Structures are given as structure tokens and as C-alpha cells.
Amino acid sequence: MALNNQYLLEARTIKKSFSGVEVLHGVDFLLRKGEIHGLAGANGAGKSTLMKILNGVYHPDNGQLYLDGIPITIKTPLDAADAGIAMVFQEFSLIPTMTVSENIFLAREPSYKIPFINKKEIHSRTLNILQELKMDIDPDEVLENLSVGTQQIVEIAKALSKDCRVLILDEPTASLSQSEIVVFFRILKALKKQGISIIIITHHLQEIMDICDEITVLRDGIVTLHDKIESIRLEDIIRSLAGCDIDQEVFKHSSNSEKYRLEKSPCLEIKNLNFNSVLSNINFSLYKGEVLGLAGLLGSGRTEILKTIYGLLRPSSGDILLNGKSIILRHPADAQAKGINFVPENRHKDGIIRGQSLLNNIMLSVWKKYTRFSFLQFKEAVKDVEKLIKRLKIKTRSSSQLIEELSGGNQQKAVIAKAIAGDIEILLMDEPTVGVDIASKQEILGAVRQFAKNGKAVLIVSSEMEELIQVCDRVLVIKAGTIIKEFERHNDIEITEDILMSASQGQV
């Protein structure tokens, strides 16, 4: 008997436990036909578990799934595919050395006679799907030759080739440039018009507000918000995610940085900096007590600016001045010795050491500070690490817990703790909140503001314009390796996402 034809897919009172710990506590998730539904929540809130139940990776302990109002049982991903449910994970399930068409019809190739594959047919069917998506992609192109954004489209085309009715996307824009996101959203809107229902798991709340029709928020395995986007504000989502109102006091921009600019010399000056063909005549100053943002599209040269200041790249020409004196940085150790440290974009590759404790990760570059006459002052080090853990609100059982056992947001806080553990005056940050949940993001940005309020200086790169607006005193816009615009918070012109995005595109 049909339960309710108002929804295409329903998950009712879903419960799921792992090793005796309940992860989902009777969750309801309701998806209408032809809607884009945002699913938000902190790391560990149960988002992926719920979606993997819909996709047949996990089986619920209790509860029932319904499709078109009729009870269904999904025990495997094959069952989900038969029901028209497909999931595109953050890590693609594509083979780089195969062509686009071969990837789309992998293990489902039409054939003349076994074992002969009908390559003409898979080419034709792939071309039809790509034309429906209005994407000019060669079916015979080898996948590894395509951009990440185009590979994402191929993954979606693969799902559509299986007569998908429900498309689940896990952090789909995490690796996309802004121009790729625009194309990606256009495709989602086209799929919606075709009656396909789409679920987007994302930490990017503004994307939910921009593209979604409804939202469900999970916190600790419980639904804390389910509503139409048109009926709520961004603040409502943040409150549901965090369980309380985010304290905005720390984000109030006083005249602290302005005062330093008026009364004192800059702590860092970049003059006519060039790096190969990537950076051209970069000039700016950074003052104590301020957070200076670098905005721009991927490949604009933002990261290269940070890396030249940190000694990871040697500039072709130009000068770096610290407190008015020219310095030469041949290695990151030179930068650290002068009070400059760096938070890299990829914490897994460059930020943490797996298999080591939280304590060892934070203290990695400053053990020498706790050595007296060749003896390690271990208790003193632990005491200081505990202060950093408390200051950055790192959620951990103890400082001896392995770093990989922490959530992504807490690992990122550990990377930041490591960067400020020494005698640091200038902090360079490359995409410091990428891949972390909203609560951790707000705590990280709050820590950045507090660091500046303590008289330090921060230079931050972020692809999220609303993040730069929230945390920065000034924002420099980079395009093709050149600073093309500067925005100051105290000017009459209001800094908005539209203004920063337009400037990043060269519309100044």
C-alpha cells in the first residue's frame, strides 16, 4: 500500500549503530520529485551514513525506506541502482586511463557477440547523454586528460546512463573552480527540469541557499532542521548546525588594524615581487593586528604569493621586507626563524603526520624550544599543547590521541595549532577551512580574528568570498598573477560576494 505520493523517496525513523554506538537516532529524510535537496551537518553528524543507507552500502537497524510511497528494501548498491538511486562520492569511481565512454559503460558494455564490445554504440549513447547535459566532451577522450570539473560531469553522466531517478552528490564542488561550479549548477538545474531528484551533501551553506529547494540539517544523528529554502535564513541553518547562536563578538572589526596602519610601519612589505610567469609586480603591505585576504580564481597566483613569502618558492625578482628590513628566505626554516609560519591547503599531504599523536603533530617544529641542556622539558611542552587545544577548541580524548582519529575539522585546528605554537608574528593561511564543517569553520575563523586582535598579522587565501568578508580587514584581488583591486572594510564601498567575484573575473 502506498504511503504518500507527495514524496519520491522517504527514509522513515532510520536508526543505525556501529560497535554499539548509535549514529542515527530515528531520522526522517523526505525527497520530492524534481527537487534539489541540501543535506548539511558537522563531520560525524550522520550525513554519509544516511546516504549510504539510501545507496545500499549500509542496511538500517530500524526504519523503512519508501519509493513512490511503496516500501522498498535496499541491501546493496545494485539494489539501489535498480531502484534508480545513484551516488557520486567525493572520490570518483572512474578509471583515469580509460576513455569517457568506456568509463560511463564500464561492466555494462553493449556487445555484438561476447566477448566483442560494440564501441560504436557506447560512443553514440555517451554522446547522447553528454548532449542532453549540453556538454561538449569527446566520448573517446582519455579521462585523465580532462579537468576535475569535467570528470565530475562524466561521473554524473555515468549515473544518468543507468536511468537514475535520484542522484546523491557528496561534496560535489570541493575540488571545482568557480567557473566549473557555474557550469555544474547549470547542469543540476537542467536535471531538475527533467524530473530527477538531487541530494547535495555539502559544507558550503551559501551553495545550499543558491541552488537548493529544501534543506535537511543533521546534528549528532538527529534532524534539527527540515524546511524550504525560501522560508529560512542562513542564520537558521548555522544555528541548527551548531546547536546555538554563533558568537559574532569575535568577528567585530575594531579599528585595531586601522590604528596600526596609521601609527606604525608595516610588519611585512612585498615590493615588485615576480615569480617566473606566475606572479608579476606584486606590491602590498601587511600590518600587525590585521587580517589581509587574497581573493581570486584558482590559478590566479594566490598560493604562489604565500609560498614565496614562506620560502617554498624563490622569487625571480623583488623584495620581501620584514619590519622595514629586506630579508632572503631560502627555506621555510628561514621564515619560521623570523616569526613567519604557514598553514597549507592540503592538511593530509602537507599538514599532519599520520600515526603520530596530536601532541607530536602540534610540537613538530618547536621541540627545540623545550630543550634545556639536551634534556626535553616534556611536562612544559604538554602544558602548552593543552593550552592550544583549549584555545582552538580541539575535540580530543587527550593530547596523546592519534591525529587520524580526529575529525577533519579538529585535524585542521591541529595544523593551525602547530603553526602558532612557536614565536609567530605573521601567519600565512591557504584555504584554512576547506573540507571542514560549519561549526569548526566558525571556530577556526574566530581563532584567526583573535590571533590578529592579539597584535599579530594574518595573510589568508580563501575561495569562499563570504569567508573573506567575515574575517578580513582588507581584501586584495588577484588575477593572472597581478593585484588588480584592493577593498578596505572602512571604505564607503561595501564589500560583498558579488563585488569580490566580479573583481576576480576582471570586472573592476
pLDDT tens for each residue of 273-329: 999 989 999 999 999 999 999 998 878 899 999 999 999 999 999 999 999 999 999
Question: Is 432 exposed, middle or buried, given 0-12, 13-18 or 19+ CB atoms closer than 10 A?
Answer: buried
At residue 208's C-alpha, the angle toward residues 469 and 407, to 5°, is 80
Q: Cα dihedral sign for 228, 232, 238, 242?
A: negative
CA 373/CA 371 separation, integer angstroms: 7
How confident is residue 111, by pLDDT bands cut at 50, 70 and 90? Answer: low
Cell reading at 198: 538531487
Phi first, then psi, for residue 463 (nearest 5°) are: -85, -10
CATH of the domain spanning 9-242: 3.40.50.300
DSSP 466-501: HHHHHH-SEEEEEETTEEEEEEETTSSSPP-HHHHH
CA 197/CA 34 separation, integer angstroms: 4
At residue 349's C-alpha, the angle toward residues 286 and 304, to 5°, is 35
Percent of the chain residues topping a pLDDT of 90: 54
Q: Into which CATH architecture does domain 249-339+425-504 fall?
A: 3-Layer(aba) Sandwich (3.40)
Q: Dihedral of the CA atoms 59, 62, 68, 71 (nearest 10)? A: 90
CA 155/CA 136 separation, integer angstroms: 15
Higher pLDDT, 287 or 177: 287
The pLDDT of residue 3 is: 43
pLDDT tens for each residue of 186-236: 999 999 999 999 999 987 788 899 999 999 999 889 999 999 999 998 888
The pLDDT of residue 230 is: 95
Is the predicted pLDDT of residue 459 greater than 70, yes or no? yes
Phi first, then psi, for residue 317 (nearest 5°) are: -160, 170
pLDDT tens for each residue of 332-349: 999 999 999 999 988 888
CA 332/CA 361 separation, integer angstroms: 17
pLDDT tens for each residue of 230-256: 999 888 887 887 765 555 555 555 445
Q: What is the pTM of this model?
A: 0.65
Delimit the CATH 3.40.50.300 region(s) of the chain: 9-242, 249-339+425-504
pLDDT tens for each residue of 15-26: 999 888 899 999
52-56, 336-340, 395-399, 486-490: least confidently modelled range:
486-490
Residue type, 253: H
Mean pLDDT for 262-276 is 87
Helices (H), 194-255: 205-211, 234-242
Is the predicted pLDDT of residue 8 greater than 90, yes or no? yes
Mean pLDDT for 109-125 is 72
Q: Which of 12, 159, 160, 161 is nearest to 72 (CA)?
A: 12
Higher pLDDT, 51 or 109: 51
Is the predicted pLDDT of residue 487 greater than 60, yes or no? yes
The pLDDT of residue 497 is: 73
Percent of the chain residues topping a pLDDT of 70: 91
| Residues 6 or more apart whose Cβ sits within 8 Å of residue 140 | 99, 100, 101, 123
Q: Report the SS3 class of residue 84.
A: coil
How confident is residue 493, by pLDDT bands cut at 50, 70 and 90? Answer: low
Containing 62, the helix (H) or strand (E) segment is strand 62-67
pLDDT tens for each residue of 360-398: 999 887 877 888 777 778 888 899 999 999 999 898 989
